[in-house]
Amino acid sequence: MNTRTVLVTGATGFVGRALIDRLIADGGRPVRAAVRAPGATMPDGVSVVVVGGIDDHTDWSAAVEGVDTVIHTAARVHVMQERAADPLAAFRVVNVDGTLRLARAAAAAGVRRFVFVSSIKVNGEETPPGRPYAADDPPTPVDPYGVSKLEAERGLEEIGRSTSMEIAIVRPVLVYGPGVRANFRAMMRLVQRGIPLPLGTVHNRRSLVALHNLVDLLVVCVDHPAAANQAFLVSDGEDVSTTELIRRIAKAMGRSPRLFAMPSMVLQLGARLLGQATVAQRLCGSLQVDIEKTRRLLGWRPPVDIDTALAETVRHFARYDSNSQSSAS
């Protein structure tokens, strides 16, 4: 008999940990965490299944037994310094083969719904200001990570058509929140240290999503009837320029932003010369999403606004980041 257990993969990751905390806080259903190696610490009441590496040979049988819903957050994530000789092949092993192996096992076990955390990179890398991506736009992935996520989506849709398992796909934009790493944490470090940044007049528009908001939507997708066999975009519902984002981070830190103006073309040229063209594109380019479909079909609204989410992110950074030491203004 189905116990309405929710299986979360990638349970030790940035999104997975927050998702498990939310499911436990909500109560009402058993939660199972799939992890790659023994020793993971989970909240009381969460059962843990070790699945090892994720690929086309992973044994998911114990993980999906008695499960009602799978929320698949595990992935080989996009990295700035790719070291694989064949990046697309490396992404496919985990993001395509591993995902579809799990989905087939889930369908065979009678799982009702499979919620897949995909990526906005399925839609593409950049939008003209004021012309956001919509969920049903033709996909135009550019890099191997985005291609692998699209291939996984298409494989899941085929499994959904050939079985009774419902598929719900969520494509987040850049996710930030307590414990965020990579470029967002690096930006907070620069602001915290008072380092002057040449980003004083960047007029791009970028959509972001707070971890709290992403997790909230994933939980909605577990049971909402309209989520079945649909793809959704998710953001905070407010787009900001890089300049404005830095100012808001500084405000949350109680600091004055140290920004000076440099033309975007000059900034991007300098970045290309330094081998950082991708970083410059993210800082100066626009990437907006339209979440109207998410609002309309699911009745969903981002529960946390961007300033509240930034304040929470900064508090965690100030408390836990080993390099977050006060510097002279």
For 7-46, what is each residue's pLDDT tens digit?
A: 999 999 999 999 999 999 998 899 999 999 998 899 999 9
Distance CA 7, CA 228 (A): 17
pLDDT tens, residue by residue, 232-262: 999 999 999 999 999 999 999 999 999 988 7
Q: State the helix-helix crossing angle for 277-284 and 264-273, rounded to 10 degrees.
A: 160
pLDDT at position 91: 95
Q: What is the mean pLDDT of residues 125-138?
A: 93
Same domain, 114 and 191: no
| Domain membership flag for residue 88 | yes
Same domain, 122 and 61: yes
Same domain, 90 and 196: no
Q: Which residues are catalytically annotated?
A: 145
Q: Which residue has the tokens 């002057």?
A: 196
Same domain, 20 and 35: yes
Same domain, 146 and 110: yes
Reading the block at residue 291, the tokens are: 């979440």
| Domain membership flag for residue 116 | yes
Q: How many domains does the chain have?
A: 2
Same domain, 202 and 213: no
Same domain, 120 and 221: yes
pTM confidence score: 0.93
Distance CA 295, CA 234 (A): 9
86: containing domain: 5-176+208-234
Is residue 35 classed as helix, strand or coil in its secondary structure?
Answer: strand
| Domain membership flag for residue 59 | yes
| Domain membership flag for residue 325 | no
Same domain, 315 and 225: no
Same domain, 50 and 139: yes
| Domain membership flag for residue 150 | yes
Query: What's 268-302 look like in SS3?
Result: HHHHHHCCCHHHHHHHHCCECECCHHHHHHHCCCC
Q: For residue 106, give the CATH number of its domain.
A: 3.40.50.720
pLDDT tens, residue by residue, 195-238: 999 999 889 999 999 999 999 999 999 999 999 999 999 999 99
Q: Which of 62, 39, 38, 40 is nearest to 52 (CA)?
A: 38
| Domain membership flag for residue 250 | yes
